[in-house]
Amino acid sequence: MGFKKFATKDLDIKSVYHLLISGISPRPIALVGSMDNKGSSNLAPFSFFNAFGANPPIVGFSPALSGRTGLPKDTLLNIKETKEFTISIVNSYMVEQISLSSCEFDRNTDEFIKSGLTKIESKKIKPYGVLESYFIMECKLYDIIELGSKPASGNLILGEVIHFHVAESILNDNNQIDPYKLDPIARNGGNWYTEAKKGLFELKKPKNIGIGFDQLPVSILNSELTGNELAKLASIEKIPKYYLEKNLGKLSKEQLIMEIKDKIDNNEIIIAWNIVLHLQKTYE
């Protein structure tokens, strides 16, 4: 596989930005509610966002300085003043309203009103959350790390979550969040978004320490099996004992590989390994 290489120093800010948001995707969206010292509300979405610890629970997002003027955004100014903010997770029912809230309104404009989103009072802090969201976090400022002073430079805002609001409608019988009902929307490059629930799949972590790729037979490593298929074989705790199946002796090497693929696809890993061992004994 060939790569086209880009040296950051040879690119303008816009090109660097579009490479970042297109390559690092999809990204969760933090719909940040903040308030200035006079009590005026602000609401803005940020996709440079994630969680960074659970004890204490820390979340972070980065409002960049304006790429045109180098000036700070209202959200950054407000949080510097009041040291608190909310983060509401965006779902598919509000995505058009989120896009509207991203417009560069002046600081005195309430984006809740402009976007038609509903304010919900916080329990511990003054800024409002978004009622239409299914998952809201109330945050106290932990730290602000300035990542530069030039246009498009980031400001990593870290907040400690002091209160959660979780819609009862998205909880399952075990009081855990159902990812389908949470229905989060994520940001990609350009004008593209991802509706996360349409791409959900479950992947269970190996119960034990897997044997790893270095323990796979050479014939299998060099076969047509994909990296994902090989990883399933390499995730087993130990290689099982081989037992002879008469019907395997009638199959060619290519047919055995196809049989292995089929068993892996059906998560019959022990049977797949038996065919691997037969292939190894027969053709190596």
Residue 175: which CATH number? 2.30.110.10
Q: Which of 199, 228, 255 marks a domain boundary?
A: 199
Residue 3 maps to a domain: no
Collapsing DSSP states into helix, strand and coil, what is residue 31? strand
Closest CA to 276 of 231, 247, 240, 246: 240
pLDDT at 284: 66
**Which residue type sits at 61?**
F
C-beta separation of 130 from 118 below 8 A: yes
pLDDT tens per residue, the chain (284 residues)? 799 999 999 999 899 999 999 999 999 999 999 999 999 999 999 999 999 999 999 999 999 998 888 889 999 999 999 999 999 999 999 999 999 998 888 888 899 999 999 999 999 999 999 999 999 999 999 999 999 999 999 999 999 999 999 999 999 999 999 999 999 999 999 999 999 999 888 888 877 888 899 999 988 988 899 999 999 999 989 998 887 777 777 788 889 899 999 999 999 999 999 999 988 887 76
One domain for residues 136 and 244: no
pLDDT digits (tens, 9 = 90+) for 235-283: 989 998 887 777 777 788 889 899 999 999 999 999 999 999 988 887 7
State residue 45 phi and psi, 5-degree precision. Answer: -90, 145
Would you call 125 helix, strand, or coil by DSSP? coil
Whether 43 and 31 have beta carbons less than 8 Å apart is answered as yes
**Overall number of domains in the chain:** 2
* Spatial distance between the Cα atoms of 115 and 118, rounded to a whole number of angstroms: 9
For residue 161, the surrounding DSSP H or E stretch is: strand 155-166
Taking the C-alpha atoms of residue 46 and residue 245, their distance in angstroms, rounded to an integer, is: 57
pLDDT at 11: 93
The confidence score (pLDDT) of residue 243 equals: 79
How far CA 238 is from CA of 20, 162, 206, 231, in Å, comes to: 40, 44, 12, 14
DSSP category for residue 200:
-
The pLDDT value recorded for residue 242 is 83
Domain membership of residue 161 (yes or no) is yes
Q: What is the rounded CA–CA span in Å between residue 65 and residue 178?
A: 36
Q: How far is CA 245 from CA 209, 242, 270, 278, 281, in A?
A: 29, 9, 13, 9, 13
Q: Are 262 and 180 in a shared domain? A: no
Residue 208 pLDDT: 82
Please check whether residue 207 lies inside any domain of the structure: no
Contacts of 61 (CB under 8 A, 6+ apart): 30, 32, 46, 48, 49, 50, 87, 156, 157
Distance between CA atoms of residues 271 and 165, nearest Å:
46
128 DSSP assignment: -
- Full residue range of the structural domain in which residue 12 is found: 8-199
Residues 109 and 143 in one domain: yes
188 and 240: one domain? no
The sign of the torsion formed by the CA atoms of 144, 146, 147, 151 equals positive
Give the C-alpha separation, 165 to 42, whole Å.
19
- In a domain? residue 74: yes
Helix H segments across the chain?
13-23, 74-82, 95-101, 111-115, 179-182, 218-221, 227-234, 253-265, 269-283
Q: Are residues 273 and 185 in the same domain?
A: no
CB contact at 8 A, 78 and 61: no
Let me know whether 226 and 93 are in one domain: no
Domain end, chosen from 199, 232, 264, is at: 199
Same domain, 182 and 267: no
CA-to-CA dists, residue 84 to 49, 98, 119, 158, 234, angstroms: 16, 21, 16, 10, 47
**What is the model's pTM?**
0.86
Q: What is the pLDDT of residue 90?
A: 96
